[in-house]
């Protein structure tokens, strides 16, 4: 779920930045009122991209804190199981690295 949200936000930001770049490129060829309108639209697109990126960052930090808190609770409730899992992962990594 989080990966899909990050991917969607990433695509949205890329699209908004590309649109803003196109508007700025078009605005350089124009003068006067039309150029100012295109520059304004480009700035709004960049502001929107920045806002989406910041929103995604806030959500990612919140999700990370929630995962860390739930992991902390699990480890405190199941210390021996957590030690066994960590040892098992360490053993697997050791075996894999030992084969290379």
Structurally, how many domains does the chain consist of?
A: 1
More confident residue, 5 or 11: 11
- Residue 100 is classified by DSSP as -
Residue 62 has pLDDT above 80, yes or no: yes
Q: Which residues contact 35 (CB under 8 A, 6 or more apart)?
A: 27, 28
Against a cut of 0.85, is the pTM above it?
Answer: no
Query: Mean pLDDT over all residues of the chain?
Result: 82
Highest averaged pLDDT of the listed ranges 26-35, 48-57, 75-84: 75-84
- The parent domain of residue 20 ranges over 2-99
- Tally Cβ neighbours within 10 Å of residue 60: 14
């Amino acid at each position: 779920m989080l990966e899909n949200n990050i991917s969607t936000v990433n695509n949205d930001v890329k699209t908004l930045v590309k649109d803003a770049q196109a508007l700025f490129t078009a605005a350089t060829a124009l003068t006067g009122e039309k150029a100012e309108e295109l520059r304004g639209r480009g700035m709004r697109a960049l502001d929107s991209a920045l806002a989406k990126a910041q929103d995604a960052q806030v959500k990612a930090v919140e999700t990370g804190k929630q995962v860390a808190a739930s992991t902390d609770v699990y480890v405190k409730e199941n210390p021996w199981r957590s030690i066994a899992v960590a040892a098992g992962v360490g053993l697997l990594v050791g075996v894999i690295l030992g084969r290379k």
